[in-house]
Amino acid sequence: MEDHLIESAARTLWATWRDNKHIDALPIACRPSARADGYRIQAQIAKLSGQKVFGWKIAATSVAGQKHIGVDGPLAGRLLDKRVFSTGAKVPLNNNVMKVAEAEFCFGMGKDLPPRKTAYTREEVLAAVATMHPAIEIPDSRYRHYESAGAAQLIADNACACYFVLGSAVTLRDWRMFDLAQHPVVVYVNGTIARQGTGENVLGDPRIALTWLANELSLVGDMLREGETVTTGTCVTPAAVLVGDTVTADFFEFGRVEVELVR
């Protein structure tokens, strides 16, 4: 896509996001069909927002999630810092078309992973990680019909990023020794169990998802940077939520994270 079309798409999506509105799709003239163009639009949205990129999210890390939005693999999106909250925060849900909460393993990066020709190994990526956290994502799309938007448009739309709630860093010194694939996660809505899952729902293991992201960004000339935070995808089937609900994600030894959803 030519630069002026990337700019047009980014301005359309950013205005929609900023004003908390939704559109059916990007105009055909500036609608991306390639993933790489989706990432270019996404990067331009971050510039237009004037916000710092807090980190990254990964969408569609389960087969069920991929089928739900009609894609054949994961998608990466940027987390903008003014949409990031600490555990216990009140987060707006008004005009959200997805209305779900997701419990996710999250990693804080301690080193850069710059673009390169050879793929990063899981060991290399984990060596660049400084911290692990429990997290809740409250996703949304700027498209009314996000299920049929396609991968390139969804990437342009920041992979359905909206709000993100970060829990405290895990204090266990040996957290790297745990089997994250089999680690249980329970989501409560208003104190009642709503969903249960494990890390295996995240591309088989949240660490595999993190490695996928490092290599996905490398392919498009981008990178994970020291100080950025990565949330790797939901460990549970997304839990339906409404304004007024309190959502708690319990990661057991790794702690809890909570959010109150408000108008």
Q: What is the dihedral of CA 130, 36, 16, 9, to 10 degrees?
A: 150
Residue 74 within any structural domain of the chain: yes
Q: Is residue 43, in this structure, part of any structural domain at all?
A: no
* pLDDT computed for residue 137 by the predictor: 98
At 138 the pLDDT is 98
pLDDT (0 to 100) of residue 157: 98
Evaluate whether residue 12 is within a structural domain.
no
Give the list of residues 6+ apart from residue 87 with CB closer than 8 angstroms, or none.
165, 166, 167, 168, 256, 257, 258, 259
Q: Is residue 8 part of a domain?
A: no
Contact between residue 98 and residue 139 where contact means Cβ atoms under 8 Å apart: yes
What b/e string do you get for 47-59 counting C-beta neighbours within 10 Å, with b at 16 or more?
eebebebbbbbbb
pLDDT at 102: 98
- pLDDT of amino acid 225: 98
Residue 133 has phi, psi (to 5 degrees) of: -140, 150
CATH value at residue 146:
3.90.850.10
Can you give the pLDDT at residue 65? 94
* pLDDT for residue 127: 98
Q: pTM score > 0.85 for this model?
A: yes
Residue 40 resides in a domain = no
Contacts (Cβ under 8 Å, ≥6 apart) of 14: 45, 48, 49
Residues of the chain with pLDDT under 70: none
Question: Tell me, what amino acid is at 231?
Answer: T
pLDDT at 100: 98
Please count the structural domains in the chain.
Answer: 1
**Are residues 249 and 219 in contact, defined by beta-carbon separation less than 8 angstroms?**
no
Inside any domain, residue 94: yes
Q: Is residue 45, in this structure, part of any structural domain at all?
A: no
Does 24 fall in a domain?
no
Q: What is the pLDDT of residue 245?
A: 98
d(CA 15, CA 124): 38
Q: In this structure, what token pair is assigned to residue 55?
A: 């980190």
What pLDDT does residue 216 have?
98
- 206-215 pLDDT, tens digit each: 999 999 999 9
**pLDDT value for 89:** 98
Contact status, residue 150 vs residue 32, Cβ threshold 8 Å:
no
Domain span including residue 101: 52-262
